[in-house]
Chains A and B, each alone.
Chain A
């Protein structure tokens, strides 16, 4: 067997720069985002004299931002195909209202009501997708219309009032924690350990296959360092959560969504098709990609995720209100652009949207802890969005 070390050397000899420098260069965008996230986190940690990273507050952060992050995932897909969706906040409110009517007024079982709500979301997505993909009306206009339409419908079905309270099982979806009998939340810690093992095994296996095909890989030292870093981070995170109430249910849902969508976008044909449509729709179409159909499904997907987001928000608030989901669309869109999406389509990643969403979320939370008013918060968030995209474009110009 040929030694791996030899292959590594063969690869690195092709690279004039040190592997670390190379690594940073290739992943400049991603690293700079993570770096920005860490800086913002540390900044508020200091400013709030340690309040930000308290177990209670971290749990709160997750609960507060889950619905925006879910929207951001779907929005990222929409933006990659080169469109935009302004209606997600209104759809979330509308579906929240529908679910309240089903569960509270008609006393339908939670499970059935949730399924129906998600289907309503899908139908709304299909409605908008039809106009965008097949009639070719710009998404900006279709979803602007949708924003007004579904906000109006929300107020109509709610008759301008709030509906509350939801059954307890439904509330648990958003504010519950994984069941754990022990005081120390052993299950949470255990999940951390299991995920660590899965992570290490998966990473080692990818590296192996890459080396088998003689593709370039990072040096062994760097690889181990990276793995150790990820494992430590993961377990510290679960430990912090365990020292409060354990893992929130919604985090599990969010985790599954992030992993699934990252996988779909990175590894599957569907994901590749979405990137291709955003990159050059004409070329994609002439390569045999069913561009209209794909665009349609991206909007259906957005509708379902909007519905899910609306459900979680309603469950957290324990009420469906006519004002729910107001300005969610802007937070979700901002998350995508901070997270590296291109306004022209074709570029962006699901983890990017999550990081962008966290940047926004931590700023919201941190500024609230500091007692800044909503006026200042809005202004500062606006500037951060502009700065993030300006930095991105500056980097791109420098690279050319």
Chain B
């Protein structure tokens, strides 16, 4: 047995008209955590799909050696039988089934087609203990948080006797605590000899857990680095990914901050179905002209709920409090009125709440401001084309034409469409909820530049983010939320990851 568990040699995969992978090589050592890095669209996911048999043998060229044997997987089943298990970015759990049912889904412990529930429950308990979950095996998956769901996915992989675990952006939707938890778990499994491939955009995590890494760029493997020997740090990784030095991850900006243009006072919101649960508790905040104001907080702190309840009461019940815009009290009874009065909200869930994936780019851009391109309710399609084309060029949306369906674009370009849509609605206040989630480094920089430009035009920006460096790099002032309250307000000068973390975990003080 050699110390190489997996070797992929000269993998080339073509789609009609595109070469997605060209002669990619990947070597993973036994018992190591190997990071796979690259910008969105570089070919990481395609490579993993080749490995797991989603693209069957014959649809690509090149060899896969697993445990020193040549493998020709025709489907996922065959790769899983060998012990290669993928956990996808979008979790593949069924919310209405219990943890136990999910873990053994498609892999049921049964005799003659009848499930042995006792055995299933026992095994589930063991597996849950391994991943550090204290839930009952009969808890429904919809009743546990995303962080715990991720752990269930891992337990599911363990149930399949995994030798090589592949994690695609495992912490993308997790908060800091849960991420930390997950990474520790990975390190623990490594001790037991499991190998793992981890795809991640979060470079600090890679720096922390990976033993070696392979960088993929434009469908080619660029280099493989040993994290310790090659003394790899984040700047080094970024250089490899974008093929150039990215000295500054946040574009330069000289803030020109004016008078207060937007105030929220004593904002309180209750849960839409559990009428006695306070989700937002007496929050007050303000935004000044040209200012980028951050909102930090752990998952569940109520940041999105705050934003959506302000944006035309799209969330919650029994909303109370005052909103003052340009010195005058305003009401946003619904989204339409909020938009009309100059408010825009870029949702954290780009695909679910932001875009209509089956519609083309231009229709998505104009959707929130059809009044601007229509006369007496009739849409002027020529003007629509011109406006959309204008934004395509201004925000550098990479697409051959604005007739392209939004669903066909990469994450970064999709986010640019959403931004175009809201910039086109000419707001005074933009609430950006996780605007760079799941977007590669290069595109992030472009999004940051756009945000800075908007601030320079005199708009007020409220930036919600789970990435603390992003908040520190972009914002003039940061509100920190925990459990529905603002626990701290930190000016740029005093902000550091430590202070923010402290406020994020601070219990609210009454009085």
Contacts and interface: CB of A to CB of B under 8 A. Distances in A.
Contacts, number: 82
Interface in A205-234: 209-210, 213, 215
Nearest to B366: A272
B374 interface: yes
B232 interface: no
B355 interface: yes
Contact of A279 (B335, B353, B358, B378): B358
Contacts of A270: 377
B333 to A, nearest CB: 12
B385 interface: yes
Interface in A268-302: 268-270, 272-273, 275-276, 279-280, 282-290
A129 interface: no
A272 B367 contact: yes
B62 interface: no
Interface residues of A, number: 25
B336 to A, nearest CB: 4
A279 B314 contact: no
CB-based closest 6 A-B pairs: A279-B356, A287-B368, A288-B336, A288-B339, A280-B356, A287-B367
A268 B382 contact: no
A347 interface: yes
Contact of B356 (A209, A215, A276): A276
B336 A290 contact: yes
Given A210-B382, A267-B379, A286 B352 contact: no
A210 B339 CA distance: 31
B381 A267 contact: yes
Contact of A283 (B355, B377, B381): B355
Given A213-B385, A286-B345, A286-B347, A275 B359 contact: yes
Contacts of B340: 288
Contacts of B381: 267
Given A210-B382, A215-B385, A288-B368, 19 more contacts: A213-B382, A213-B386, A268-B374, A268-B378, A269-B370, A269-B374, A272-B363, A272-B367, A273-B370, A276-B363, A280-B357, A282-B353, A283-B347, A283-B355, A283-B367, A286-B345, A288-B336, A289-B367, A346-B356
Contacts of B386: 213
A288 B382 CA distance: 23
A268 B380 CA distance: 9
B352 A282 contact: yes
A283 B358 CA distance: 12
B359 A346 contact: yes
B368 A346 contact: no
A101 B496 CA distance: 79
B354 interface: yes
B348 to A, nearest CB: 11
Contacts of A209: 382
Interface in A341-371: 346-347
B358 A285 contact: no
Between B345, B352, B356, B421, the greatest number of chain A beta carbons within 10 A of the residue's beta carbon is seen for B356
B334 interface: yes
Given A288-B335, A290-B334, A283 B379 contact: no
Interface residues of B, number: 33
Nearest to A287: B368
A285 B312 CA distance: 10
A289 B358 CA distance: 17
A301 to B, nearest CB: 15
A286 B355 contact: no
Nearest to B311: A286
A283 B335 CA distance: 11
Interface of B: 311-312, 314, 334-336, 338-340, 345, 347, 352-359, 363, 367-368, 370-371, 374, 377-379, 381-382, 385-386, 421
A268 B355 CA distance: 20
B469 to A, nearest CB: 28
Contact of B335 (A275, A280, A285, A346): A285
Contacts of B382: 209-210, 213, 215
Given A268-B378, A272-B370, A286 B356 contact: no
B356 A283 contact: yes
A286 B334 contact: no
Nearest to A216: B401
A280 B334 CA distance: 18
B159 to A, nearest CB: 32
B354 A283 contact: yes
B432 to A, nearest CB: 14
B59 to A, nearest CB: 14
A11 B345 CA distance: 37
A284 B314 contact: no
Given A268-B377, A269-B379, A272-B379, A285 B356 contact: no
Contacts of A213: 382, 385-386
Contacts of A290: 334, 336
A397 to B, nearest CB: 13
B335 A286 contact: yes
A282 B392 CA distance: 24
Contacts of A279: 356-359
Contacts of A273: 370
Contacts of B357: 279-280
Nearest to B359: A279
A165 B335 CA distance: 53
Contacts of B352: 280, 282-283
A222 B339 CA distance: 44
A276 B367 contact: yes
A276 B359 contact: yes
A61 to B, nearest CB: 33
A215 B345 CA distance: 32
A368 B421 CA distance: 53
Contacts of B371: 269
Given A269-B374, A290-B334, A284 B356 contact: yes
A283 B349 CA distance: 10
A29 to B, nearest CB: 13
Given A269-B370, A287-B368, A346 B358 contact: yes
A316 B363 CA distance: 42
Interface string A182-197: 0000000000000000
B372 to A, nearest CB: 11
Nearest to A400: B408
A145 to B, nearest CB: 25
A155 to B, nearest CB: 41
A280 B347 CA distance: 14
A284 B367 contact: yes
Contacts of A286: 311, 314, 335, 345, 347, 353-354
A332 B385 CA distance: 34
A203 B347 CA distance: 41
Between B311, B338, B340, B354, the greatest number of chain A beta carbons within 10 A of the residue's beta carbon is seen for B354
A270 B379 CA distance: 10
Between A210, A213, A290, the greatest number of chain B beta carbons within 10 A of the residue's beta carbon is seen for A213
A290 to B, nearest CB: 6
A46 to B, nearest CB: 38
Contacts of B368: 287-288
24 contacts: A209-B382, A213-B382, A215-B385, A268-B377, A269-B374, A269-B377, A275-B359, A276-B363, A279-B356, A280-B352, A280-B353, A280-B355, A283-B355, A283-B367, A284-B356, A286-B311, A286-B314, A287-B339, A288-B335, A288-B336, A289-B336, A290-B334, A346-B358, A347-B358
Contacts of B378: 267-269
A342 to B, nearest CB: 8
B508 to A, nearest CB: 29
A64 B379 CA distance: 35
A287 B421 contact: yes
A120 to B, nearest CB: 27
Contacts of B311: 286
